[in-house]
Amino acid sequence: MARLINKASVVSIMNKRGRLDESLVGKKVQFTVQGNGTRIDVKTKEGQLVQSVVEQGTVFQKVIFNLQANSSIAAKSDAVRKLAAAGLAAEMAGNAEEAHKHFTAYLNAMQVSFSVPTTSPPFSVGRSCGHRGKGRQSHYREWFSVDYRSYHYPCSSA
């Protein structure tokens, strides 16, 4: 079983990440993509799979990438603050599993992420998401840049 996340773990993880805040609006920034992305099917609000218009007969997919960065916008959210408080309360009460659950949700809420359609250039030139080869992250960094003016952190090819 993996080690449970506690307050000290949260502080350590948060300190290893960069920070995106309002002072970066209009500026070009570079952060490290963490991992190789997670490929998911795109669904409508009603839960129906979206069909690809580029690759007929297939489900439209996107890849979600996490950056090694925290969002100052998320830090101001009452819902995110409540996750941290619930984790602290559970840890103080001696409930490590419950604290872990809340701290994990808090870290996920704080981490900046963005998604890219699988039909975008980095995927359409023969690069496969999920390949765990050495140096894989550098391929993605070549293609993606973050525009902090948007909450969804859209990407553009470089």
Helix (H, G, I), strand (E, B) or coil at 61: strand
Q: Which pLDDT belongs to residue 44?
A: 93
The DSSP H or E segment spanning 113 is strand 111-117
Query: Which residues, other chains included, contact 46 with Cβ-Cβ below 8 Å and sequence gap of 6+?
Result: none
What DSSP designation does 49 have?
A: B
pLDDT tens-digit map of 96-134? 999 999 999 999 999 988 888 887 766 654 444 443 333
Please say if the pLDDT value at position 72 is more than 60: yes
More confident residue, 64 or 129: 64
Q: Output the average pLDDT for the chain.
A: 79
